[in-house]
A = this chain, B = another copy of it.
Amino acid sequence: VGWSPANEGEHVIIEEATVSIKPERIEEFEAAFGHASGVLLEASGCRSVELLRCIESPEEFQIVVGWDTLEDHTVRFRESDVFPRWRALVGGFFTSSPVVRHYQVAQPARR
């Protein structure tokens, strides 16, 4: 990682995980996600969980997760018992490994 935000730890980190779901399993996935998002919110430092569906590629979803720090996701979550519980609920719907990117909020939402 080449860039280390100066204020890391003070602002929320946004994780975007892009996943593809088989068309015939999308309804089942969305129902499972409703439960799984509650499990994910038990993780230390997890602030928010949202599910987006891509309009151009409707089999593609983006799971958007807010974390207090990068390490809350990449270290603590992956070593926690929440991780296997989360993956057991939703991992079986993914047609390949999720593509994950992390973002720092450079300019917060203006409305």
Contact = CB atoms under 8 A, between A and B. Distances in A.
Interface of A: 1-3, 5, 13-14, 30, 33-34, 37-38, 41, 47-58, 61-62, 64, 66, 70, 101-111
Instruction: Name which of A37, A57, A101 has the most chain B CB atoms within 10 A of its CB.
Output: A101
A22 to B, nearest CB: 14
Nearest to A49: B110
Given A62-B103, A103-B62, A56 B1 contact: yes
Contact of A37 (B3, B53, B56, B110): B110
Given A62-B103, A103-B62, A110 B54 contact: no
B102 A54 contact: yes
A109 B55 contact: no
A83 B18 CA distance: 29
A48 B104 CA distance: 17
Given A2-B58, A58-B3, A103-B62, A110 B38 contact: yes
A55 B111 contact: no
A50 B107 contact: yes
